[in-house]
Amino acid sequence: MMNISSTAMVLAAGLGKRLGDITKNTPKPLVSIGNTCCLDLSINALKQAGFKRIIINTHYLADQIEAHVKSYTDFEILLSYEPILLETAGGVRNVLTEFGEKPFVVVNADMYWQDSNPSIIHRMVDAWQETDDFCLSVTPLKNAQGHSGKGDFVIENGLLRKPTEDDSPSSRYIYIGVQLINPIVIKRLKIEPFSLSGLYWKAAEKKSLRGVVFDGTWIDVGNVDGLALAREFVA
């Protein structure tokens, strides 16, 4: 891989409200899918990609996540507890100094995914340009299982933009939850609740939002139907 941070991050602080009673006593990243869970899938994907250190932000039922990750003893895991939920951008900004000055990888913990070979992370690193603010892993809308959206992006010459009414469903892509971030973009922010999505659109406007297509299995398990689909897939 190119010279990126050896520390990566997993976003695991969400409330999981769309899963209703399923997350009443269990944080979304730990909801079972066969003999695994989303948090383990993301940690193991980062481990296989070569990362030696992982930061996990927590908020809802944080003690359960803390207890769960104690089983990982072969590499370093740091927990960043947020008494007040900082959302995605705020959560990343809160631990920015841990990554140094290099681009760094952030992965969601609300998806079932089987990484591709070579890893999507390695492919994103290979695609990265110095002028990029973000590089997002995306999958074609038709491959976005368990997802009800109409498509987040269109790709043109390796860059992502907002879809228009003229863009057909076949040209649209969904962000899957794996990204490479330029620390300069996050350094400008205050440590406060804020979403990364607004930064994506700003980056798209100045043509610094790159996209790399993920061709592995991906299921959105942030909703009840998607979770059921993932459990059926594993079974």
The whole-angstrom distance between residue 135's C-alpha and the CA centroid of its chain comes to 11
- Where in the sequence is the domain holding 46, given as residue range(s)? 7-234
Contacts of 133 (CB under 8 A, 6+ apart): 181, 182, 184, 185, 199, 202, 203, 206, 208, 209
Q: Is 165 within the bounds of a domain?
A: yes
The whole-angstrom distance between residue 128's C-alpha and the CA centroid of its chain comes to 17
What's the farthest any 2 CA atoms get from each other in the chain?
51
Query: What is the spatial distance between Cα 151 and Cα 116, in angstroms, rounded to a whole number?
Result: 21
Q: Is 94 within the bounds of a domain?
A: yes
Q: Is 1 within the bounds of a domain?
A: no
**For the whole prediction, is pTM greater than 0.75?**
yes
Could you report the per-residue pLDDT of 126-152, keeping only the tens digit for each?
Answer: 999 999 999 999 999 999 999 988 899
Q: Indicate whether 185 pLDDT > 90.
A: yes
Per-residue pLDDT, 2: 57
Could you report the per-residue pLDDT of 6-62, keeping only the tens digit for each?
Answer: 999 999 999 999 999 999 999 999 999 999 999 999 999 999 999 989 999 999 999
**Half-sphere exposure (Cβ direction) of 190: Cα atoms closer than 13 Å:** 2
Q: Is 162 within the bounds of a domain?
A: yes
Could you report the per-residue pLDDT of 59-113, keeping only the tens digit for each?
Answer: 999 999 999 999 999 889 999 999 999 999 999 999 999 999 999 999 999 999 9
Could you report the per-residue pLDDT of 171-184, keeping only the tens digit for each?
Answer: 999 999 999 999 99
Could you report the per-residue pLDDT of 115-128, keeping only the tens digit for each?
Answer: 878 899 999 999 99
Report how many domains make up the chain.
Answer: 1
Could you report the per-residue pLDDT of 188-198, keeping only the tens digit for each?
Answer: 999 999 999 99
Q: Is 48 within the bounds of a domain?
A: yes
pLDDT band at 1 (very low <50, low <70, confident <90, very high): very low
Decide: residue 171, CB within 10 A, 0-12 exposed, 13-18 middle, 19+ buried. middle
Residues 210, 158: contact at Cβ < 8 Å? yes
Q: Is 2 within the bounds of a domain?
A: no
Per-residue pLDDT, 116: 79
Decide: residue 156, CB within 10 A, 0-12 exposed, 13-18 middle, 19+ buried. exposed
Q: Is 57 within the bounds of a domain?
A: yes
Residue 231 one-letter amino acid: R
Q: Is 185 within the bounds of a domain?
A: yes
Domain of residue 12, CATH code: 3.90.550.10
User: φ and ψ at 190, to 5 degrees?
Assistant: -85, 160
